Chains A and B, each alone.
Chain A
């Protein structure tokens, strides 16, 4: 019986990176995540899209507290994450795991695959007998569709797709509720991408997982997600309540226009973006997208639109939405 409250509730989350030149230099502030509020419903896939540098990976790390937020709150199943001590946070990590983009660097080259799969239990202080450990490793291999004969191999002996399966198995070891998938297919071949996505879908149904799926590939997000969050320069500009909803924000429309259809006969005009992306060190006063937006009017430059949710759950931060 799924409860109706969202698994994760994010409110007014901010992350500002400061960099200094020298000990006494004036710090430069870069706002990577700006006033983000978002619910991640249980058992669903929440997709986050946006171009590189829009803060989507930072958001993923903030949700898992792999980075410390500058301000705001994150509630995980009713627990205020940002108020947890280091020790309490370590225990909570059993329930939230991440799959990383680069399967080549997400496994310690010195560890055998079996050791990598057993490490989650070790760091959480869960003692396993030799028989239990073997059983766990075999179960995890089966879960991600890999042959257990790889157990004593080292990561460099595996292909990218195989390593990503190990990355997923490692994340599943502690039976988490939330899985944050940070571009899990971005560094894989297209044919392998499809396999990994299929695997992730299967696991979601079998284990009742909640996914936060980060990607720059709108086609993939539309295929995989129940809801889609569109980010631009650290802010959420649109939340599509279902994957097939028509975009209302001009930026989402442009993203959609720039995706390719796998059909060479289909020729169409691509509406290219003109203009510069504002520097995240010096955000404009008005709408951050205004400089590149074809629909921008004078009021877009002076005031910043806030995210407003329609009755159907479709939210958009734009003064002049498309529909």
Chain B
């Protein structure tokens, strides 16, 4: 490795090292996991064009075939190609968890900011409700919500979003409580700024980084939660593939055709680990470790 030389070269690499994303992608941890996640997103986006077979193409004579040149990861009990279904499943898993967490982070930031900024009864109310939901495991909240709303992708997203709302709200509130006492907030109010200017131009931009990282890490958990709901048949409805639902159908023939359950499980595990390691690299690059772990 010629790593030390990179620091002295005035070229592209040295330049990239100065930006946060550059730091993340050039670190070994962030580079490998970042590349995997990028590839996964590309596969999900391009699935309709690049999968070897349609996800719902049944081929009963070739049911439960072990991995082969024609079907790299084997086929399931209906003869559907496992690789194609995993690639399509990435669409479901990623879109559900990313959408749910994005919306949840946004709402959590608004709730946390409102609670911290206005204080008083509003703060007490929001904190009480959030703390109450914080005391239940995420899976339990999600199961209850799906039971109420009914199974499906939308209710999975709502369930995941609500399940993780508490941590984003709490983290934002804690950040903004600390920032609120900074002199520049008082100075901005002294200039005649409105509440929304103070919150959206000063408080939230300064509080955002740790909350977004926290959201990123929660996306990994959300993939597991989505898979769990899918496993129970509460998520994506057949024939739309999702990693959790694939594993669920694989349990029936776990000894006869173990590849049906092993490969989706492996992809879930690798993806979640990758997201966590990538998040760690991002935390290191942004130098905000202490803040995340308090949330």
Contacts and interface: CB of A to CB of B under 8 A. Distances in A.
Contact of B192 (A101, A107, A123): A123
Of A91, A94, A108, A120, the most chain B CB neighbours within 10 A belong to A108
A110 B197 contact: no
Contacts of A221: none
A124 B191 contact: yes
B202 interface: yes
B183 interface: yes
Interface SS majority for chain B: helix
Interface in A68-104: 89-94, 97-98, 100-102
A57 to B, nearest CB: 11
Nearest to B184: A108
Given A90-B192, A105-B182, A108-B206, A123 B187 contact: no
Contacts of A175: none
Given A108-B206, A109-B206, A100 B187 contact: yes
A97 B206 contact: no
B188 interface: yes
Contact of B205 (A91, A110, A122): A110
B202 A120 contact: no
B186 interface: yes
Given A108-B206, A109-B206, A110-B205, A123 B186 contact: no
B188 A119 contact: yes
A203 B21 CA distance: 45
Contacts of B192: 89-94, 120, 123-124
Interface string B191-217: 111100100001001100000000000
Interface in A99-157: 100-102, 105-110, 119-120, 122-124
Interface string B85-113: 00000000000000000000000000000
Interface residues of B, number: 17
Nearest to B197: A123
A66 interface: yes
Nearest to B203: A108
A167 B124 CA distance: 35
A98 B190 contact: yes
A66 B202 contact: no
Nearest to A110: B205
Nearest to A61: B186
A97 B202 contact: no
Nearest to B198: A123
Contacts of B190: 64, 66, 93, 97-98
A20 to B, nearest CB: 12
Contacts of B206: 108-110
B189 interface: yes
B191 A93 contact: yes
Nearest to A155: B184
A52 to B, nearest CB: 17
Contacts of B187: 98, 100, 106-107, 167, 170
Contacts of B186: 61, 66, 100
Given A90-B194, A110-B205, A66 B184 contact: no
B127 to A, nearest CB: 12
A93 B187 CA distance: 11
A89 B124 CA distance: 28
Nearest to A102: B183
B274 to A, nearest CB: 30
A106 B189 contact: no
Contacts of A192: none
Contacts of B182: 105
B194 A123 contact: yes
Contact of A106 (B183, B194, B197): B183
Interface in A47-65: 61, 64
Contacts of B189: 66
Of A61, A64, A93, A119, the most chain B CB neighbours within 10 A belong to A119
A89 B195 CA distance: 13
Given A90-B192, A107-B184, A108-B206, 10 more contacts: A89-B192, A90-B194, A93-B190, A98-B187, A98-B190, A100-B187, A106-B183, A108-B202, A123-B191, A123-B197
Interface of B: 124, 182-184, 186-194, 197, 202, 205-206
13 contacts: A64-B190, A89-B192, A93-B190, A93-B191, A94-B192, A97-B190, A98-B187, A98-B190, A100-B183, A100-B186, A105-B182, A106-B183, A108-B184
Interface of A: 23, 61, 64, 66, 89-94, 97-98, 100-102, 105-110, 119-120, 122-124, 167, 170, 174
